[in-house]
Copies of this chain bind each other. A is one copy, B any other.
């Protein structure tokens, strides 16, 4: 396909730059590999009915008082008084099947709310990497990949995941990229992909989680394609997108 006819895919490193990158995209993929979007993708795949992302601890507390199951994480730890944090293993609990789960996290849920001004918002992670790429290739729309970052700063793991998605889309020749951030993300992904775990040894957030004894979570979140679901934002709630690749192709 000629360059002019291709759709655009671009990478925005963190919510801090969203204003600069957001215009004219029809789809936004929000990425918070460690650990919010990995946990959401996993939970939705394991049968959670819906995840309600909220920005503040106060909102989360209100839901809790109304009897909701509420997950709350700040700085890598479960916030006191809540049911669990954003460990993907907690989101696999069979007791959550068919239930609504309210979630607030340090970075990810804020990025989801920010992204909501783009018509379609879906949740991306390494956990659902291939299914999200397949779905994006079927949509033929312009796609912004938004990393959640760490407290508005660039982070390596979200950039690698965004680079992995951008790489698949660009290689299909149905998409093109213009921004330097996209070129850099694709490049970092290609160099990291053979051994993601050792590449990220030095990353600041991984060091943070190691101190909290969360190495199992990190290993899970860095393993591609453990689930096959795409959470989509509808009326402020994340639910499972009906998408059957085999049926379409």
A residues adjacent to B (C-beta < 8 A): 13, 16-17, 20-21, 150-156, 159, 178-181, 183-184, 187-188, 191, 202-205
Contacts and interface: CB of A to CB of B under 8 A. Distances in A.
Contact of A16 (B20, B155, B204): B20
Contact of A188 (B16, B21, B187, B205): B187
A180 B152 contact: no
Contact of A180 (B150, B180, B181): B150
Contact of A153 (B20, B154, B191): B20
A103 B190 CA distance: 40
A81 to B, nearest CB: 30
Contacts of A188: 184, 187-188
Given A180-B154, A187-B191, A203-B180, A17 B16 contact: yes
B13 A154 contact: yes
Give 5 closest A-B pairs by Cβ, nearest first.
A156-B180, A154-B181, A155-B180, A180-B204, A183-B202
Given A16-B16, A16-B17, A181 B153 contact: yes
A182 to B, nearest CB: 9
25 contacts: A16-B20, A17-B153, A17-B154, A20-B151, A20-B152, A20-B153, A21-B153, A150-B180, A153-B179, A153-B180, A154-B179, A154-B180, A154-B181, A154-B184, A156-B180, A156-B183, A159-B180, A178-B204, A179-B204, A180-B203, A180-B204, A180-B205, A183-B202, A183-B203, A191-B191
Contacts of A21: 153
Most B CB within 10 A of own CB, among A20, A183, A203, A204: A183
A234 to B, nearest CB: 31
Nearest to A190: B191
A152 B180 CA distance: 12
A84 B239 CA distance: 57
